[in-house]
Structure 1
Amino acid sequence: MDAKAKKTALRGITYGLYLVGTKDEGGVNAFAGNWLTQTSFEPPMVTLAAKAGTRSQEQIAAGGVFSVNVLETGQKEMVTAFFRALEPEGNKLAGYEFYTGETGCPIFKDALSYFECKVVDKVEKGDHYIYVGEVIGAGVHREGDPLTMKETGFYYGG
């Protein structure tokens, strides 16, 4: 296989860029995630991939829940803050205010919208866990266009 062609082809997959909130008995966390897609209309379900062995992946496994915060175009600085491990400071992560909803996972006030999920299935493949989450709550903070990987200049894949 031509390694350059494979990398170029895989980078052609379009992605959004989201803040995924997690929690367990030790507290809350959030990470920048982009492997996310809706997988069912009824019941509403999404599929999310989380890198194996990370704090966030382990929190999803332990807590059985996660939240997805849809960011707005132009919020590159906000999502970039979640590319590293974080500790909450009161009701803030990386300086961004959050509250919790039905799942207890972070919901960011600066996000366009959010949804909360209960894990209903998981698969371990390669270096990621794939979680299927049933959407059990959702809300909209304001209207706007969602943030995409393309606008940030970041690449994932290949």
Structure 2
Amino acid sequence: MDPKAKRTALRGITYGLYIIGTKDNEGVNGFAGNFLTQTSFEPPLVAIAVKEGTRSQKQIAESGVFSVNILESGQKDMVTAFFKSLQPEGNTLAGYEFYTEETGCPIFKDALSFFECKVVDKVEKGDHYIYVGEVINAGVHREGDPLTMKETGFYYGG
């Protein structure tokens, strides 16, 4: 297989760019994620791939929960702040205010909307682990167009 053709073809998959909230006994965390898709209407299920061995992956494995924050078009700076490891300062991560609801994972006030998930299945293969989450809570802060990978000019995958 031609590696360049493979990379180009796989980068043709369209993605959003989200802040995924996680937690464990030591606190909360958030990371920029894009491997996310809805997999079922009833029950409402999503699948997310998380890089194996990261703090966030370990937190999801331990807690069995995560949140997904849908960002608005133009919030490239916000998502970029979550490309690195973070420590909470009060009720902020990377300077962005959050609160918690059902799962205890961060929900960001600046996000368009959010949903929270309870892990119901997992696949631990490859360099990313896939977690299937049942949506147990959701909310909308405001209307708007979601941020996409294409808009940012970032590439992840391939």
TM-score, with length taken from structure 2: 0.99
Over 6 Å off, 4+ runs: none
Task: Report whether the alignment pairs 1:52 with 2:52.
Answer: yes
| Whole-angstrom CA distance in 1 between matches of 2:46 and 2:86 | 25
1:12 corresponds to which residue? 12
**1:46-92: CA deviations, max 9, x gaps?**
00010011000000000000000000000000000000000000000
| Deviation (angstroms), 1:7 | 1.1
Equivalent in the alignment of 1:93: 93
Which residue of 1 is the match for residue 64 of structure 2?
64
Give the equivalent residue in structure 2 for 1:148: 148
1:127 aligns with 2:111: no
Number of matched residues? 158
The CA distance in 1 between the partners of 2:120 and 2:6, in whole Å, is 33
The answer to whether the aligner puts 1:30 opposite 2:30 as a matched pair is yes
Distance 2:3 2:64 in 1: 37
Displacement, 1:2? 1.2
Identity of aligned residues (%): 84
Structure 2's unaligned 5+ residue stretches are none
Structure 2 CA distance for aligned equivalents of residues 27 and 116 of structure 1: 17
Q: Secondary structure at the match of 2:5?
A: helix
Deviations 1:19-59 (A, max 9, x none): 00001111000000000000010000000010011000000
Following the alignment from structure 1 to structure 2, what is the Cα–Cα distance between the partners of residues 52 and 2?
A: 26
C-alpha distance in 2 between matches for 1:34 and 1:86: 18
Give, as a single letter, the amino acid of the residue that structure 2 aligns with 1:109.
K
How big is the shift at 1:153?
0.2
Distance in structure 2 (CA, Å) of the matches to 1:103 and 1:7: 36
Aligned-pair Cα RMSD in Å: 0.5
Unaligned stretches of 5+ in structure 1? none
Report the Cα distance in structure 2 between the residues aligned to 1:94 and 1:58, rounded to whole angstroms.
20
